[in-house]
Amino acid sequence: MTGLNYLISVARGDSPADLILANARIINTLNGEVEEGNVAIYQGRIAGVGDYNLAKEVIDLNDRYLAPGFINGHTHLESSMLDVGQYARAVVPHGTSALVTDLHEIANVCGLEGIKYVLDCARRLPFDMFLMAPSCVPATHLETSGHIITPDDIRKMRRWRECIGLGEMMNYPGVLAGDAGVLSKITAMRNRVIDGHAPGLTGKDLGAYIAAGMRSDHESVALDEAREKLQSGMFVMIREGSSEKNLEALLPLVDDKTWPRCFFVVDDRNCTDLLYDGDIDAVVRKAIKLGMEPIRAIQMATVNTARYFGLDKLGAIAPGYDANLIVLDNLYELIINEVFYQGRLVARRSEAIFASFQTHGSRLRNTLKIGSISEESFRLKASGEYQNVIEVIPDQIITRKKSVKVKTVDGLIVPDVERDILKAVVIERHRATGNVGLGLITGFGLKKGALASSIAHDSHNIVVVGASDGDMIAAVKEIERMQGGLVVAAEGKVLASLAMPIAGLLSDQPLEDVVAGLERLEKIAADLGTVLPSPFATLSFIALPVIPEIRLTDLGLVDVNEFKLIK
């Protein structure tokens, strides 16, 4: 009997299933109901739901809830700072059975080779990874990246089995201007899903952007913004990450009429949050605490996401669907007891029970090439009494542009810790050009010392903020020595560091060790005065020139609204 014939025989109750999950309260995401019954599984697929009892193995769920595995519809796993196997250890026990990612972080450093590395690793792990080909590598012409993804590269990725569409089109000014290179990338993915990225876009410009093919947006921070995008035809990804917390503001958008066109994503979530709070399950849990009906919250992390991306075997418990399942004691606390991937138990009580191999990323090491840097490189000349300053917004990745009277010594601008005005520097690290972008920032609260990182969306040059040039130089030198990572320095010494030698983005250490290292860095940063709960997550977005209002790249200060360098 062929596999398909046998599946049909199991579904009809004539042949034994590989596994039956019995006496379950089954969450039917297709109709929003809770149904009682058994689930029969054969070769990783659901053969049927009902009164099945013939199987090689039976697991009695004792009236516990059974839900589809969660789908994280937009995430950058690189933001976890974990190598791929350790990332799986972090998210699979929290019920993530599938994720959609464009991998543009590692692509900015290593190009197609970086994307292939992650996909190769993921094939050996108990989750489904779907690729949205990165559309903007680099994100803009206002920074220096390690690689460029061309329209030909997009066409090449389209043929890969994991590729389901085009990743977030961050260069919305290029779309609106009809840039030939941008439009050719969109055309290369015709008839596939194309994700948008349009913070603050409204009116006819929004309409033009959507008309060009963008079907979703995850950048809304205000309810009216999200509502306009929804009314204009977009799917709204409601985001709750480590630095980008939009769930509470956007949840009122979801009602009986709009909910099928909304789903949950995390975008960027660091290893600490993944370990202690969870992945997409944490967003579902918070939505329930904020008053959303639990089954609807689960639908927005399963079937809604699957429908948007055309993943027709995921997101529900029904015949023919993949047996990616999670077991819950109750729907309000949403504590995940067991996780099944293609009918195989892969996690129990928050612990992975699969082999999490360590590749150590040997293909992607030694990627930092820094030009000559000295304290002179960090000297910021005063062009007037007032200067532009980047203002950090707590719990958001947007910034504000402020004009502030600055403190000077011998014609040079110096940090003013009493007024929380620190120096910010971005150093090009891919080609040893020696490019150094200089600026000022407020919102970190450091009283002394410096914080530095080689994780700096999206081109991942070195970004550093500090109260003294000497400490900033010490931090940068340590990053260069480690070939990537995070550093806290003060009084000319490195106080703590965490190496990220894989592309300067990922650790080669176990999940728990990376979390412990990050926690130590954040504690020392707090001791130096920072008021931010996740200062390195905030630091990583300072150089992203597609999020309003003002950013700093290796080429200088960027007015994002004007999409140009500030002279």
Over the chain, what is the mean pLDDT? 95
CA angle at 543 for the pair 504 and 142, rounded to the nearest 5°: 105
Q: What mean pLDDT is predicted for residues 114-141?
A: 95
Break the chain into its structural domains and give their ranges. 68-363, 365-560
Mean pLDDT of 283-303: 98
Dihedral sign computed on CA atoms, order 12, 13, 18, 21: positive
Q: Which of 58-72, 379-393, 512-526 is predicted with the least confidence, judged by mean pLDDT?
A: 379-393
Residue 357 pLDDT class (50, 70, 90 cuts) = low
Q: What is the pTM of this model?
A: 0.94
Please write the tens of the pLDDT for every residue from 200-244: 999 999 999 999 999 999 999 999 999 999 999 999 999 999 888
Write down the pLDDT at residue 358: 60
d(CA 136, CA 169): 6
Dihedral sign, Cα of residue 369, residue 372, residue 376, residue 377 = negative
Residue range 68-363 forms a domain whose CATH class is alpha beta
User: What's residue 408's pLDDT?
Assistant: 92
Q: Which distant-in-sequence residues (6+ apart) come within 8 Å of 43 by Cβ?
A: 3, 7, 18, 343
What number is the average pLDDT over the span 92-119? Answer: 97
Please compute the mean of the pLDDT values over residues 167-192 and round it to a whole number: 95
Mean pLDDT value across residues 392-408: 90
Which pLDDT score is estimated for 104?
A: 96
Q: State CA 326 to chain mean position distance.
A: 22
Instruction: Report, as an integer, the average pLDDT of 270-289.
Output: 97
478-491 pLDDT tens trace: 999 999 999 999 99
Q: What is the pLDDT of residue 397?
A: 84
pLDDT in tens, 328-345: 999 999 999 999 999 999
Nearest alpha carbon to residue 474 among 120, 482, 103: 482
Cα separation values, 472 from 374, 478, 527, 529, 558, Å: 10, 10, 17, 16, 21
pLDDT over 90 at 169, yes or no: yes
pLDDT surpasses 90 at 163: yes
**In the block, which residue shows the tokens 């039917």?**
28
**Looking at residue 395, what is its pLDDT?**
78
Give residue-wise pLDDT tens across range 175-186: 999 999 999 999
Our measurement of the distance from residue 277's CA atom to the centroid of its chain's CA atoms, rounded to an integer in Å, reads 15
What is the predicted pLDDT for the residue at 396? Answer: 82
Residue 375 has a pLDDT of: 84
Q: DSSP label at 117?
A: H
Give the pLDDT of residue 149.
97
Give phi and psi for 147, each to the nearest 5: -145, 165
pLDDT of 244: 85
Residues 431-455 have pLDDT tens digits of 999 999 999 999 999 999 999 999 9
Q: What is the pLDDT of residue 361?
A: 60
pLDDT tens digits for 526-548? 999 998 988 999 999 999 998 89
Model confidence at 251: pLDDT above 80: yes
CB 75 within 8 A of CB 104: no
> Phi/psi at 376 (nearest 5 deg)?
-65, -30
Closest CA to 520 of 505, 504, 536: 536
pLDDT digits (tens, 9 = 90+) for 78-104: 999 999 999 999 999 999 999 999 999
384 pLDDT band (50/70/90 cuts)? confident
Here the tokens at position 180 are 């030939």
- Percent of the chain at pLDDT > 70 equals 99
Residue 165's pLDDT band, with cuts at 50, 70 and 90, is: very high
pLDDT in the model for residue 394: 85
Any idea how long the chain is? 567
- Taking each helix axis from N to C end, the angle separating 84-91 and 104-122, rounded to the nearest 10 degrees, works out to 80
Report the distance separating Cα 322 and Cα 317, nearest Å. Answer: 8
- What is the per-residue pLDDT for 374? 87
pLDDT of amino acid 517: 98
Q: Is the pLDDT of residue 1 over 80?
A: no
Q: What share of the chain in percent tops pLDDT 90?
A: 92
Order of strands, sheet of 399-405, starting from the edge strand that comes earlier in the sequence: 399-405, 386-392, 436-442, 421-427, 462-466, 450-453, 485-490, 493-499
